[in-house]
Structure 1
Amino acid sequence: MKRRDFVNWVGLGWIASSLPVAIAACSPQKTTSQDWQSVGNVAELDKNGQLLAENSPVGAVLVVGTSKAANLVAVNPTCTHKGCTVAWKPQAQKFVCPCHGAEYGIDGKVQKDPATKPLTNYAVKIEGSSVLVKQV
């Protein structure tokens, strides 16, 4: 076998062995939106009655309640009107936007304009000392 033929075969073998890696790199990645993600700890939730995680793996999350509550609530606190962060008002049992006065019920549905779309809800649970959410 001549040296040129040998180099060509080695080059061809290298290209062929790299092909699966190139295909995997170009294929769409599987999303982990179905996975539970930690957004904080139970101590902070119990201390404040709410837990705001602005940079969680699923995006901004506001969890309302305590570890002893039967029904924890988790929403994306970004107002659907102009993008301000809504605040939870426990006495009124609603989320209120400080920028333009939009109001949302505990289920995230719009109760008062100018917002027209509801807040995004998350499934929420407690495991050990962690508060976990996932997209629904």
Structure 2
Amino acid sequence: MKRRDFVNWVGLGLIASSLPVAIAACSSQTPSASGNWQTVGTSADLDKTGQLLAKNSPAGPVLIVGTSKAPNLTAVNPTCTHAGCTVGWEPSTKTFLCPCHGSKYGADGKVLKGPATEALKTYAAKIEGSSIVVKPS
């Protein structure tokens, strides 16, 4: 094999070995540069009822409250810290309520009424384009 052929094969090998890295860098599946934001739904789904429950999101179970027009979104893990039931949002009182034993949480996830003693896990939430994205806080 001539030196020129050898150098060409080595160059081709280097290009071929870097191709997967280039494809991965362009993939929409990679985390955004601004952190580990995860898409959990669309703003259209949120606007239908003012809340969006994503039980199997990449960030885990998430309940988002608000609308695409609201300046801030509220996002919590809806699993009650007392018995593991899924809490629901009560818009009239602006609280999360557990249907199993009556625990009540504020919009910030803090316990307002027991038997729960630990707050709900909260997330930072925002709208990017037409997607709702969350980041564990």
1:93 paired residue number? 94
2:80 paired residue number? 79
Give 1:124-135 correspondences, 5 Å limit: 124-135=125-136
Q: Within 2, Cα distance between the matches of 1:43 and 1:58?
A: 20
Residue 111 of structure 1: how far off its partner (Å)? 0.2
Q: Which has the larger radius of gyration?
A: 1
1:48 paired residue number? 49
Residue 71 of structure 1: how far off its partner (Å)? 1.4
Please give the per-residue CA displacement for 1:75-113, whole angstroms capped at 9, x wherever unaligned.
000000000000000001000000000000000000001
Please give the per-residue CA displacement for 1:5-35, whole angstroms capped at 9, x wherever unaligned.
xxxxxxxxxxxxxxxxxxxxxxxxxxx7x51
What amino acid sits opposite 1:42 in the alignment?
A: S
Q: Within 2, Cα distance between the matches of 1:124 and 1:106?
A: 13
Gaps of 5+ in 2: 1-30
Q: Within 2, Cα distance between the matches of 1:71 and 1:94?
A: 16
Q: Secondary structure at the match of 2:46?
A: helix
1:111 and 2:80 equivalent? no
Q: Within 2, Cα distance between the matches of 1:104 and 1:74?
A: 13
Residue 120 of structure 1: how far off its partner (Å)? 0.2
Q: Normalization by structure 2: what TM-score?
A: 0.74
Aligned length: 104
**Percentage identity across paired residues of the two chains:** 65
Give 1:19-38 correspondences, 5 Å limit: 34-38=35-39
Task: List, as ranges, runs of 4+ consecutive aligned residues in structure 1 with deviation greater than 2 Å.
Answer: none
**8 A Cα contact 2:72 2:126, kept in partner:** no
Q: Aligned Cα RMSD in Å?
A: 0.9
Q: Normalization by structure 1: what TM-score?
A: 0.75
